[in-house]
Amino acid sequence: MQVASCRWLGATCVRNLARVSSGSVFHCSDGSRCYAHTSPVTNFPKCELTSKRYPVTRGQFSQITGDDINFFVNLLGSHRTITDAAELEGPNTDWLGIVRGSSATLLKPKTTEEVSAILSYCNKRKLAVCPQGGNTGLVGGSVPVFDEIIISTALMNEVESVDTLSGVVTCQSGCVLEALDNHVSQFGLMVPLDLGSKGSCHIGGNVSTNAGGLRLLRYGNLHGSVLGVEAVLASGEIVNCLSVMKKDNTGYDLKHLFIGSEGALGLITKVAINCPSRPQAVNLAFFGLQTFEDVLSIYKDVKSKLGEILSSCEFIDASSLECVEKNLKLKSPISAHPFYMLIETSGSNSTHDEEKLNTFMEEALESGKVTDGTIATEPSRMQNLWNIRERISESLVIEGYVHKYDISLPLPHFYKMVEDMRQHLGTAVIRCCGYGHIGDGNLHLNITSKEFDQELMSRIEPTIFEWTAKVNGSISAEHGIGFKKRNFIHYSKSHSAIALMRQLKSLMDPNGILNPYKVLPDNK
């Protein structure tokens, strides 16, 4: 926790650096500016060990010994070989507080060669490892399940190069997304990825999980933006696919195997990302709507009328907004509505964009589809509006246990799912709410209860996955499979696809030491 004083307030704002999304972080030091009303500090629950809460058996891996520790200390030094239980508490627990491992070793390599040496040793010794970035994952993929050695990318945070002509940035995998974005902004570029956890998450973790975020609608997903990947296989072999070319059709495009495979096929050590030019004019509209049909209709209008400048189209329901207001004391800019939308435009000419957005807004208001709203063109106000959307996740955690689902659905079914689940669960839960990237058909369905309850869980799963499969949706749109969803993957992947995944896994990681108990279903 850090206390920073704010110049104009004459007061202090307290921030919890470790576990608060960047939305609440103020720029207070070194003469930079700061102006805000309040910043709540969030308390996170301590959860039960994953190995106790969930039916899962430890694999045939070796136990870590004193000799192993000696090897790591020789390689990295004692300050980068962490064995102190208190220091390991954070890296053993996920951000949501739903899974907790019991690892006794955390390694902090700085170079690809060190990662290679660690993995090569672990592979020989059959020691399981869990690669970890910013530990902001939402499906239990970034923390150990048992005693896997945690390999953190925290010290691998060098930016190697920025090609200002092509816009390609090459960096190590431990760069924090927001820091990387700030770095490339000096050159008029931006990282084509933005998500609520940008102040903590690592770019390597983003690539390993193929993170989506708020601007996927405009810039596409990481399979498109990532041009090259350098990864270390379980054997310690370094696979260099670090191309910086936009086109490279020489054989199998292996980098795609590492994008979205959640550290189970290799540990990503470097990435090359194609960065678009930073928009010079950004505007944001916040709309209130009465029905979900109006939401869909506005989405359609947005695409046709703002298409070329549209950079984000987000959806929030009344319950999600109420949660942010109640738990984080953020203020809604407009009166209460059943549904809300955030529409962002990014372009090069602010007058042109503002005029377009204003016309759109007037028409939307006249048509009656939008009944209230506001527009922000100033960065400070836009940030305040974005906070409402970006900090929903954080506000939910305060209510207790969060059952988190991240689902792709055909738009006509999008909100029906929330309504059906709400009815299905009734008063057994505190809240059942939905928000997300409507432009990508990606719903974040969240159910909160006071604490973890096995019975409640069995009422939600697999019903929710069956529902999704029935309408041909995906049970994980952008969060990945991780530990939590591995046994439900068949709802979205065919048996032959899962079989091929297993073959790839055994080819690239024959001993299964890389992030075990994740992605692939248990052997039955």
Partner 1 sequence: MSLKVLVGCKRVIDYAVKIRVRPDKLGVVTDGIKHSMNPFDEIAIEEAVRLKEKNIVKEVIAVSCGPTQAQETIRTALAMGADRGIHVEVPAKEMEKLEPLHVSKILAKLAEKEQAELVIVGKQAIDDDTNATAQMTAGILNWPQATFASKIEKKDDFLEVIREIDGGLETIKVKLPAVVSADLRLNEPRYATLPNIMKAKKKKIEKMKPADLGVDTTPHFEVIEVTDPPAREAGIKVEDVDTLLLKLKEVGRI
Distance CA 436, CA 433 (A): 10
> Does residue 342 touch partner 1 according to CB under 8 A?
no
> Does residue 83 touch partner 1 according to CB under 8 A?
no
CB of 415 to partner 1, least distance (A): 23
> Does residue 126 touch partner 1 according to CB under 8 A?
no
- CB nearer to partner 1: give 236 or 333: 333
- Residue in 40, 59, 276, 333 binding partner 1, rule: CB under 8 A: 333
CB of 193 to partner 1, least distance (A): 20
Question: What single-letter DSSP state applies at residue 64?
Answer: P
- Contact map string, positions 36 to 55, toward partner 1, x by CB under 8 A: -x------------------
- Contact map string, positions 343 to 382, toward partner 1, x by CB under 8 A: ------------------xx--x----x-xxxxxxxxxxx
> Does residue 186 touch partner 1 according to CB under 8 A?
no
Alpha helix segments (H runs only) across 211-275: 216-219, 222-225, 255-258
Whether 441 contacts 410, CB under 8 Å? yes
- CB nearer to partner 1: give 76 or 370: 370
Distance CA 321, CA 471 (A): 27
Biggest CA–CA distance in the chain, Å, is: 73
Closest by CA position to 59, among listed 153, 124, 144: 144
Which range binds partner 1 by CB under 8 A, 22-30, 95-103, 214-222, 503-511? Answer: 22-30
Distance CA 227, CA 241 (A): 9
Closest by CA position to 194, among listed 161, 155, 221: 221
Distance CA 98, CA 315 (A): 26
- CB nearer to partner 1: give 342 or 375: 375
Identity of the residue numbered 424: H
> Does residue 32 touch partner 1 according to CB under 8 A?
yes
CB of 104 to partner 1, least distance (A): 25
> Does residue 30 touch partner 1 according to CB under 8 A?
yes
Class of residue 477 by CB neighbours under 10 A (exposed 0-12, middle 13-18, buried 19+): buried
Whether 127 contacts 69, CB under 8 Å? no
- Contact map string, positions 260 to 289, toward partner 1, x by CB under 8 A: --------------------x-----xx--
> Does residue 334 touch partner 1 according to CB under 8 A?
yes
- Residue in 29, 65, 78, 291 binding partner 1, rule: CB under 8 A: 29
CB of 347 to partner 1, least distance (A): 14
> Does residue 155 touch partner 1 according to CB under 8 A?
no
Give 450-455 contacts, CB < 8 A, sequence gap 24+: 450/399, 450/400, 450/401, 451/45, 451/400, 451/401, 452/47, 452/48, 452/53, 452/98, 452/401, 453/401
Distance CA 522, CA 524 (A): 6
Q: Which residues of 25-38 are buried (b: 16+ CB within 10 A; e: fewer)?
A: bbebeeeeeeebee
CB of 186 to partner 1, least distance (A): 11
CB of 22 to partner 1, least distance (A): 13
Whether 230 contacts 170, CB under 8 Å? no
CB of 284 to partner 1, least distance (A): 11
Closest by CA position to 188, among listed 279, 58, 324: 279
CB of 355 to partner 1, least distance (A): 13
Distance CA 68, CA 237 (A): 20
Which range binds partner 1 by CB under 8 A, 28-36, 131-139, 460-468, 471-479? Answer: 28-36
- Contact map string, positions 284 to 323, toward partner 1, x by CB under 8 A: --xx------------------------------------
CB of 110 to partner 1, least distance (A): 17
Total H helices, total E strands in the chain: 18, 18
CB of 294 to partner 1, least distance (A): 14
CB of 32 to partner 1, least distance (A): 7
CB of 460 to partner 1, least distance (A): 36
> What phi and psi, each to the nearest 5 degrees, are found at residue 134?
-85, 0
- CB nearer to partner 1: give 144 or 373: 373
- Residue in 300, 331, 416, 450 binding partner 1, rule: CB under 8 A: 331
Number of other residues whose CB lies within 10 A of the CB of residue 421: 22
- Within 114-217, strands assigned E span 129-132, 149-152, 159-163, 168-172
- Residues in contact with partner 1, total (CB under 8 A)? 34
Binding site for partner 1 (CB under 8 A): 8-9, 27, 29-35, 37, 280, 286-287, 331, 333-335, 361-362, 365, 370, 372-383
